[in-house]
């Protein structure tokens, strides 16, 4: 069950949260015809790029506990998201170092990745709006507080975001078991974005095709892939190593 401190319930509370630009992960509305204030809430959410999901009333009752949900609830983010441009601006005169996540769904993995990003000097993390873990209290706790220091951008289209980075002179390396080079043999010392695939599925086809090159982590055991946060840590610190020795 979700932490109730992370849930906003009721039409007026949800509407005011949206109007105040409070960071919201997702809005849930009861299935059925949307009219009046519910329709207004859905419109406000979509205008702000916030996913809206229709659910059964029993689901709303479960997350609302004793509060009256009036057919709507929202999950507040533990930290405000930024834009991709904000991450680029944060790099300033430094060579950008960005981690991009292709549908990482486990909040503990996302938190661990953000913690690694902070330790390795990453300028920001990019996640997708849909089919991805969001900035919940679980993520904040798993990051050991690093979520307060590492900007996280939430984008609609990861392929388009990769293109924007490439247009800004940033090389994009995807982690894939079919990569041409072992990761420590790849050129990772310049302006770089590392793309990590989701648990169990890896990089999507279009994301993989858009990367400038793919790198692999050698696997000698029976398991064919590493945990996403572990793979991120290995690649992030290879960037650190190459930059420090270059």
Same domain, 62 and 140: no
pLDDT at 211 over 80: yes
Among 76, 96, 117, the domain boundary falls at 76
- Residues ≥6 apart with Cβ < 8 Å to 178: 214, 216
Same-domain check for residues 28 and 143: no
Range of the domain at 32: 4-76
Domain match, 213 and 96 both: yes
User: Is a pLDDT exceeding 50 seen at residue 26?
Assistant: yes
- Residue 76: DSSP 8-state: E
Cα separation of 39 and 229, whole Å?
A: 39
CA-to-CA dists, residue 76 to 14, 22, 81, 115, 153, angstroms: 10, 8, 11, 21, 16
Q: Are residues 131 and 218 in the same domain?
A: yes
CA–CA gap between residue 39 and residue 35 (Å, rounded): 5
Same domain, yes or no: 46 and 96 = no
55-64, 85-94, 208-217: lowest mean pLDDT where? 55-64
Domain boundary among 59, 76, 93: 76
Residue-wise pLDDT tens digits, 155-185: 999 999 999 999 999 999 999 988 889 999 9
In the prediction, which pLDDT does 1 show? Answer: 37
Residues 21 and 117 in one domain: no
In this structure, what CATH number is given to the domain that contains residue 97?
Answer: 3.40.1280.10
- Cβ atoms of 86 and 125 within 8 Å: the answer is no
Q: Looking at residue 5, what is its pLDDT?
A: 47
Give the range among 122-131, 185-194, 218-227 with minimum mean pLDDT.
218-227
Co-location of 151 and 241 in the same domain: yes
Domain count, the chain: 2
Model pTM? 0.80
């Amino acid at each position: 069950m979700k932490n109730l401190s992370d849930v906003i319930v009721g039409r007026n509370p949800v509407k005011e949260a949206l109007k105040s630009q409070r960071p919201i992960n997702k809005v849930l509305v009861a299935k059925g015809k949307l009219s009046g204030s519910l329709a207004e809430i859905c419109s406000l959410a979509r205008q702000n790029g916030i996913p809206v999901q229709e659910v059964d009333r029993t689901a709303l009752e479960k997350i609302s506990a004793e509060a009256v949900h009036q057919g709507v609830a929202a999950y507040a983010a533990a930290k405000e998201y930024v834009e991709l441009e904000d991450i680029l601006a944060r790099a300033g005169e430094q060579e950008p170092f960005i981690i991009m996540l292709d549908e990482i769904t486990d909040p503990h993995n996302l938190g661990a990745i953000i913690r690694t990003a902070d330790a390795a000097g990453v300028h920001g993390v990019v996640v997708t709006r849909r089919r991805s873990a969001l900035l919940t209290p679980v993520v904040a706790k798993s990051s050991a507080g690093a979520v307060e220091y590492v900007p996280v951008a939430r984008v609609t289209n990861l392929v388009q975001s990769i293109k924007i980075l490439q247009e800004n002179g940033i090389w994009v390396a995807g982690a894939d078991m079919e990569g041409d080079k072992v990761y420590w043999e790849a050129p990772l010392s310049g302006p770089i974005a590392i793309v990590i695939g989701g648990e169990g599925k890896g990089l999507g086809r279009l994301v993989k095709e858009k990367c400038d090159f793919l790198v692999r982590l050698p696997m000698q055991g029976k398991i064919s892939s590493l945990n996403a946060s572990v793979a991120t840590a290995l690649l992030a610190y290879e960037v650190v190593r190459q930059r420090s020795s270059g």
